[in-house]
Structures are given as structure tokens and as C-alpha cells.
Structure 1
Amino acid sequence: MPDHQNEIILITCASGKQSSALIPHLIPHYPHLRLQCHSSPSAATLSENYPKAEIVQADLANKDDCTRILKNVTAAFLVLPPFHPHESQLGINFIDACNAQEDAGGPFQHLVYSSVIHPILRKLLNHDVKRYVEEYLIESGLDYTILQPTHIMEMLPLAKLLKDEKPMYPCNWNPATKFSFVTTKDIGQAAAKVLMQRDAHFAATYQLVSTPKPLSYVEACGIVSKVLGKEVQVQQKSFEDAVENTIKMINGGKEPPKQMKEIGARMFLYYNERGLVGNCNVLKWLLERETTGCEEWVRTRVGEIEKSKAS
């Protein structure tokens, strides 16, 4: 059985959506959490939110940094920076550092890698890069679990739609295309269960989908309209605006490198025609409960927003 009280658990990209949903599940059980981030502002925010955790700044492109943050770590939750032009290499660097720590007699036992649904989709460059990381991890000899989340429901800017008198959702692709969604709530709970139970999930790959049926953004915004009691319009952005604005936002407001734009452009073209569809049965089994549907998520999130306003 895992020794929760004495183990160090490392969470990468700790200020991102997935890790932020995981950390609260681990805090009551693991006194020694090590949270990795890249920037000083992220480190300051993490220190404020999790004063008892160890906060480390590190660049996963730097092999020495990977070695440093893995010192005395027993298990790690690996999320890689999205749309990074060298994402595969970052994952390989981290896996090599895990192997080196284990080979040197360290306590490392388990790597949980948050990949993406359908990494075999080569037309999606942001999926394809994760395919190489998965392959390298499977062949590494490490005990691992691979999680494959689909399109994250929190992409919908619910707080803004709730605030606006005439809400309009600007969609980056054809809003009639179908997607399967997952909530970060379900990702966080599933990842926590895998980390805490450990060997029961070795060598497993789990597709993480919350919505029982695929939804278009028109249908998703229809559900939001029903809950908010006001119609949410959906308007598709131009392709150029979608790529430019989204990738720049992901790059922290700075002008992104050409490779990042190319990755985003390929994704938006694919989503425009094909969407992204999976199945919720595996996540339902893993959570031992019904997964979180779109309407349930909207109602819960609206309640949280209104509660925070009142306080």
C-alpha cells in the first residue's frame, strides 16, 4: 500500500486546469506535495493557494531541471505545456529523469501521464506529439498509467456568459460539429484515484469522457441558455482570428512562435470538420458513479459563481 504520509508526489503544470482540479483531492492525504510551474507569477499564486506545498519553478525542456524536481519523488502526475513546439521532447526528458531516479535506487514508483483522447490522430499535431510520449513511456520500463482526456468543458466562459445581458459565445470552429466533453472535476477525481491506488492502475490507459452523448457547441450553448434563462448566441470566428487570438492567449499574450500557430491551425481545421468524439463508459467505471453531464456542470458552476459573488 502507498505510504501517503511520507511520500513526495510531484504535480507538473500545477496552475493549469487539470492539475488545479487534482490538487484539492490530494492535499488531505499527502502532506508532501511538490508543485511545478514555469513562471514566477504562477509560483506566487501557487504559494498563496497552497501554503503547505513545496513550489518549484522548472523548465521541462531542461534535463537538469527534470532531475532536480524529481528528487525523492515517489509518484508524479505529468501534464505537458499545451502547443509547445517540442512537447514530445519535454515528455521524453521527464521520463528519462524518472528512469534515472529509479535506476539510482530512488523511491520512484509510478508515472501518471495526462495525454489526450485519440493520440493516433496524426492530422492533429497536438495529439500526435503525445503519441510519441505514450510510446516512449510504455517502452521505458516504468510503472505508468495513461489518462486520455477529451475536450474540456471548462472551455466555455460561463462567468462571462452569465454576466452579459445578451451573451454570445465566439466559437473557434464550426459550432455544429460534435464533441465529447469532460469536466476537470471528473479528471481531478479520476487522477487522484489512480495516484492513490497506484498498482491497481499500472499499465492502464483510460479514455476520460464525461458527456454520455456528443454535443455540438450549439447544443451545449442551448443547455447554458436553459440554465441561465436567457439565450446564448453562438457565432463562429474567422479562421485567422481563431488561430491568432487563441494561440497568443496560450502563449501568455506574447507573439507565439510559428510552430505554435501551425499546431493551432491544424487543430481548428480538424475540429471544424470532424470534432472529437469518445465514450464515457471507462470514466464511469473508474469513478464508480455517473460522469458529470453538461447540464449538471453548468448548474454547479453557476451556483459556484453566484456564491463567490455573494461572499
Structure 2
Amino acid sequence: MILVIGATGKLGGEICRRLSAEGKEVRAMIRPTAAPQKVEALKKMGVQIVRGDLRNFETFEPALKGIDTVISTVSSMPFSYVPGDNDIQNVDLAGIKKLVDKAKAAGVKHFIYTSFSNQIDQDVPLCNAKRAVEQHLEKSGLAYTILQPSYFMEAWLTPAVGFDVEHAKVQVFGDGTKPISYISVEDVAKFAVASIENPAARNAKLELGGPDKLSQLDAVRIFEKVDGRKFEVQYVPMEALKEQLNAATDPMQQSFSGLMLAVAKGDPIDMDKTLKAFPIPLTSVKDFAKRMEPVA
């Protein structure tokens, strides 16, 4: 049986859908406060629901009973973040590290963890938590797979970060010329599912990107062509991004500022080697622009 942590999120939900479609037994550890409609959607897929919380370590044991593989996609950011409670320290760092320990003790065979690209190396709370969990997992004695995707199209090409297609207005970080391997959530889900049985995923880090290395301005041009309108582009200079990061006091604000600064620096991923081991068709930014599905 496979346990998915973060199943009510877009990535975790897509992983559950794909696993269920393949006839796999899937369990999801869901917080008591999770949206009922999302829980019902998982139940309709045939997913077994167990209540649990990464802040409450006592809930881990029943969730892990009989589990062979754990897939963690969860983060406190951005939608469920509560400072000092459901936050980076308690969920993204302490909670997942303890989950790794409990998984080892429960006899779990394989732990798949969703981090992000190794080139996103800002000294901010979320980045530091991700790297700390990666190191903890590598030393745990569990067979592991660490997925390191670049920037999700469903987040970074949407109004949530100033990429407003509806109003043909885009906020560009830095000069907008550095290449980024934007990747679809669906494609990351495919890699997560494939990692369960593909030997190339065992005790491995998989940096994941889309089929193209595109600058922010390249992405704007693609959307303009698909949409048929000229977009208004507003630039946020590197110095302004650095000032924003230095002025941020909340860990979530610091983390978002760091991620925006990393976007400005670029994040190109070479997928040739990975695609030889995982022959998975990749979604292009043009494909995504035609779908126009914002993050949920």
C-alpha cells in the first residue's frame, strides 16, 4: 500500500488519481481541517482516508501501518500557512523529518519526497527546510527518491505571482532573460508514480524540468501568441527583490522573496539523462498556455 501525504493539494491529488487508475492501493493522511469536498473526491477515487497531522506525531503510526511506500508532497506554504503553528518549522521541517523516522521504524521500504530544484539555493526558511529534509532522508537508511522539480507552471505562470493572463499583465522578476525549465504538476506526478517501481529512482535525486528552457520573457511571448494579445510587462529589478528579501520578517514572506529572486537568476534543467530512464512525455509551456488552468 502507498501512503500519500499532501493528497488534498494539486500534486498530491494528481498522484492519488494516477495511482488509483493503475489499481494501486492508496491511503491518504488528511488533516481534520481538510476541505470536505477534497476528501470526498479522494474517496471517490477509492483512496483510503486516515486522519493525521504532521504537527501531531502520534497520528503517524496508524497512517503508516501496512505501508510499503510513502510519497510526501506536503508543504505549509502557501495556502495552509499559520505562523507559529502550521508553518515551515513545524510542518516542512520537523514534521517531515519525524515522518521519515517513523516510516523507518514502521518498516516502510521506500520514501519519495518532493523538494525542489537544487539550483534554487536561497538562504530562506523553506529552502533550508527542504535541504535539511533531503539530508535527513539520505541518512535515514530508507530507500529514497528525492524529486527536485523546477518552477510549477500552475503556480509561476498564473496571477498568484503576477502572471495575469486574463488582464494581459505580467510581472517579471529581474531582467526576465534567464532560462527556466517550467514544469507541469501533472508531469511531476508522473515521475512520482514511476519512481515507485523504476530502479533508477532508488536512492536517487531526480532534478525535473519541462521540455524547454525558457526565460520569463519567452513564456510571455508564448502566451501572447496563444492569447492573441500583447501583454503589459512590469519589471521588478534584482535590487528591489533583494531589498524585499532583506525587509521580510515572516518565514513565508522570506521564502517567497527568495523564490522570486531565484526565478530572476534562472533554473535550467537538463532532462536528457532522466528521460532515458523515465521516458515520460513532458508538457510544454505552449501546451499549458492553451489549457489555461490556474493553480487550485
Counterpart for residue 54 of structure 1: 48
SS for the counterpart of 2:27 is strand
Distance (whole Å) between structure 2 residues aligned to residue 216 and residue 120 of structure 1: 16
Counterpart for residue 89 of structure 1: 94
SS for the counterpart of 1:112 is strand
Distance (whole Å) between structure 1 residues aligned to residue 206 and residue 132 of structure 2: 17
For residue 257 of structure 2, the aligned residue among 265, 288, 302 is 265
Query: CA 1:67–1:257 in 2, change beyond 3 Å: closer, same or farther?
Result: farther
Whether the aligned pair in 2 keeps the contact of 1:175 and 1:218 (CA below 8 Å) is yes
Aligned amino acid, residue 50 of structure 2: V
Whether the aligned pair in 2 keeps the contact of 1:171 and 1:234 (CA below 8 Å) is yes
Compute the displacement of 1:203 (Å).
1.0
Long gaps (5+) in structure 1: 1-7, 103-107, 245-255, 306-311
Compute the displacement of 1:290 (Å).
4.5
Whether the aligned pair in 2 keeps the contact of 1:18 and 1:187 (CA below 8 Å) is yes
Counterpart for residue 184 of structure 1: 185
Whether the aligned pair in 2 keeps the contact of 1:120 and 1:131 (CA below 8 Å) is no
SS for the counterpart of 1:151 is coil
Compute the displacement of 1:31 (Å).
4.9
Whether the aligned pair in 2 keeps the contact of 1:212 and 1:280 (CA below 8 Å) is no
Distance (whole Å) between structure 2 residues aligned to residue 169 and residue 128 of structure 1: 29
Counterpart for residue 152 of structure 1: 152
Aligned amino acid, residue 48 of structure 2: E
1:99-141, Cα deviation, whole Å (9 max, x unpaired): 1101xxxxx2211111111078253542232121111111111
For residue 68 of structure 1, the aligned residue among 62, 67, 82 is 62
Counterpart for residue 42 of structure 1: 35
Distance (whole Å) between structure 2 residues aligned to residue 101 and residue 281 of structure 1: 36
After TM superposition, the structure 1 stretch with the greater mean CA deviation from structure 2, 64-73 or 116-125, is 116-125
Distance (whole Å) between structure 2 residues aligned to residue 243 and residue 77 of structure 1: 34
1:137-168, Cα deviation, whole Å (9 max, x unpaired): 1111111111111111112228x956x3x421
Distance (whole Å) between structure 2 residues aligned to residue 46 and residue 172 of structure 1: 36
The correspondence of residues 202-221 of structure 1 with structure 2, limited to 5 A, is 202-213=202-213, 215-221=214-220
1:206-241, Cα deviation, whole Å (9 max, x unpaired): 11111332x22221011011112222323246969x
Distance (whole Å) between structure 2 residues aligned to residue 157 and residue 125 of structure 1: 24
Aligned length: 274
Q: Does residue 297 of the first structure (1) align with residue 288 of the second (2)?
A: yes
Q: Does residue 279 of the first structure (1) align with residue 270 of the second (2)?
A: yes
Compute the displacement of 1:62 (Å).
2.0
Counterpart for residue 132 of structure 2: 132
- Aligned-residue identity in percent: 22
Counterpart for residue 100 of structure 1: 105
After TM superposition, the structure 1 stretch with the greater mean CA deviation from structure 2, 289-298 or 91-100, is 289-298
CA RMSD across the alignment: 3.1
Aligned amino acid, residue 98 of structure 1: A
SS for the counterpart of 2:21 is coil
Query: CA 1:237–1:267 in 2, change beyond 3 Å: closer, same or farther?
Result: same
Long gaps (5+) in structure 2: 78-86
1:7-38, Cα deviation, whole Å (9 max, x unpaired): x2111111223212322211122353112333
